[in-house]
Amino acid sequence: MNNKAAKKEKLTWFARFLNVVETAGNRLPHPITMFAILAVAIVLISGLCAALGVSATGEMIDAKTMEVSEQTIRVISLMNREGLAYMLTHAVSNFTGFAPLGVVLVTMLGVGCAEGSGYLSALMKKAVSVTPAMIVTPMLVFLGVMSNVASDIGYVVLIPIGAVVFMAYGRHPLAGLAAAFAGVSGGFSANLLIGTLDPMLAGISTEAARMVDPSYVVEPTANWFFMMVSTLLIVAIGTFVTDRIVEPRLSAHRHTDEDVASATALTGQERKALRLANLTLFAFIIAVIALAAPANSFLRNPETGSLMSGSPLIQGLIVLIALLFFLPSVVYGRVSGNYKNEKDVCNQLSSNMSSMGSYIALAFVAAQFISYFNYTKLGSVLALKGAFFLEQAGVGGPVLMICFILFSALINLVMGSASAKWTILAPVFVPMFMLLGYSPELTQVAYRIGDSCTNLITPLMTYFAMIVVFAKKYDEDSGIGTLISTMIPYSIFFLIGWSLLLIVWMTFALPLGPGAALML
């Protein structure tokens, strides 16, 4: 068999594997039922593990005080008096406190107006007329990676827009959704800038490192050089997987030359409306910059003067993003004639919320499942037991780091929060690797690689349910199996590519960031 035939057979085998995953996944019950079953399973498992006395002991960091202490974590049962009372009394607060719920609904007030008024469609038509088709995929993945500087905003803004962008180019909308999701979630740790995650992880790493060296400090910029190069890597891999693997698997998105022409055609009235809407958009951005510029701006952290850490600008970013879409959308709708008066705008806002009904129902059940899992401490016990196993493995060098990457990737499937996992893993692995001569900065990089790669395929990721709902908008038959089978290639290729990059980095002893070496 020649190489070409072998390659074709290999790709065919991989495609068959993904098809099996999709078919099996979609045969599962409705996502709402599925999360309900998982929640019940957690209740039963917690009761069994608690009865058996399952526990794990290890050094941990208190996320609030940053103090390190040895703790024994036991599985907490949901099948006793306290557990039953918790499920009954916290059902509402679990739902209302579900992190993505408010973010998604508030953002969709603005994004929904952008879509309903025709502004988003006109914007996409204009973009299609001036943007070469060949750079659409890498641009979308890149924007997804860069959106992480503003925390989770890419999930609720860029991912649905990614589907619209691909559809405007006559491509399958689910491929655009997948490309944006890959950049936002799979490339969560990569960025050209220092984001909100960097100082959070660096603070935890510092406390863990001081268990060995009381004067050690891990700076927020500790992984900057590596993550800048990682951004280019994620964009390249994300583009390859989207164009060569994901989109060819999806059913053909049929379009004609006339469809493409109509997708880029704007009437004179639409062009005028778009121009005025864009001016409104730029005026709003300039206004925010002007308000944030003064040293005593109310948008800055009142204690540090920072525009990033703990500032009203970042804490209120969701509202600003909603206004960023809402204001130009109202202008576009009024000038284009889609909105006749304020009643049309109010009706649009109502329509935006009514379209989120399925997500709200799913969010309620998903919130209970995630809350039960966190309450029972099952993820923490698994993390500590896995850490002990890896500690006893007795491997070193790049092999040790690859093992740690794989371990972090697996733990990410059962624990959603990056900072919560690191408060458990850092006190174990940072001192252990320091005693072997590896810097805390290197350990932190390895953790971030593993933690990012499997974000795409774990239902414990808080925005996973939302992505399932977005996908159903373009394919009613899609389900959890469709999403997971679509995102598995990204996870695999990101994991392999990112691990190889770290091996190259270690081989040539390159600095991870300013003043951050690989070895002590």
The answer to whether 473 and 208 have CB atoms below 8 angstroms apart is: no
Residue 343: the pLDDT is 93
Query: Using CA atoms, how far apart are residues 75 and 327, in angstroms rounded to an integer?
Result: 49
- Token pair in block for residue 5: 């035939």
Q: State CA 318 to chain mean position distance.
A: 16
**Token code pair at residue 404:** 């740690």
How far apart CA 193 and CA 175 sit, in angstroms, is: 27
Q: Has residue 16 been placed in a domain?
A: no
| Residue 39 in domain | yes
- Answer whether residue 256 is part of any domain: yes
Q: Which helix (H) or strand (E) holds 502?
A: helix 480-507
Cβ atoms of residues 480 and 437 within 8 Å: no
The C-alpha angle 281, 285, 288, rounded to 5 degrees, equals: 140
| CA distance between the termini of the chain | 50
Q: What is the structure's pLDDT at 427?
A: 80
DSSP for residue 73:
E
Q: Does a structural domain hold residue 142?
A: yes
**Residue 438, SS3 per DSSP:** strand
* Predicted pLDDT at 241: 96
Residues sharing a CB contact under 8 Å with residue 45, sequence separation 6 or more, in sequence order: 376, 378
Residue 515, in any domain of the structure: no
User: pLDDT by residue for the chain (520 residues), tens digit each?
Assistant: 444 444 444 456 777 788 787 777 777 777 788 889 989 999 999 999 999 999 988 777 776 677 777 888 899 999 999 999 999 999 999 999 887 788 878 888 888 898 889 888 788 777 767 778 889 999 999 988 988 766 677 787 788 888 888 888 888 999 999 999 999 998 888 889 877 678 878 888 998 888 888 889 999 889 999 999 999 999 999 999 999 999 988 865 444 444 444 445 678 898 999 999 999 999 999 999 999 999 999 999 898 888 877 789 878 888 898 899 899 999 999 999 999 999 999 999 998 888 788 888 888 998 898 889 889 988 888 878 877 777 777 666 788 889 899 999 998 887 766 777 887 788 878 888 887 889 999 999 999 999 999 989 987 787 888 888 888 888 887 888 888 999 999 999 999 999 999 999 999 999 999 989 999 8
Instruction: Tell me which residue range forms the domain holding 352.
Output: 21-507
Q: Does residue 520 form part of some domain?
A: no
Residue pair 367/411 in contact by the 8 Å Cβ criterion: no
Is residue 370, in this structure, part of any structural domain at all?
Answer: yes
Total domains, the chain: 1
Is residue 188, in this structure, part of any structural domain at all? yes
List Cβ neighbours of 403 (8 Å cut-off, separation of 6 or more): 390, 393, 395
As given in the structure block, the two tokens for residue 61 are 């960091």
DSSP class of residue 74 equals E
Residues near 291 by beta carbon (within 8 Å), at least 6 away in sequence? 297, 298, 299
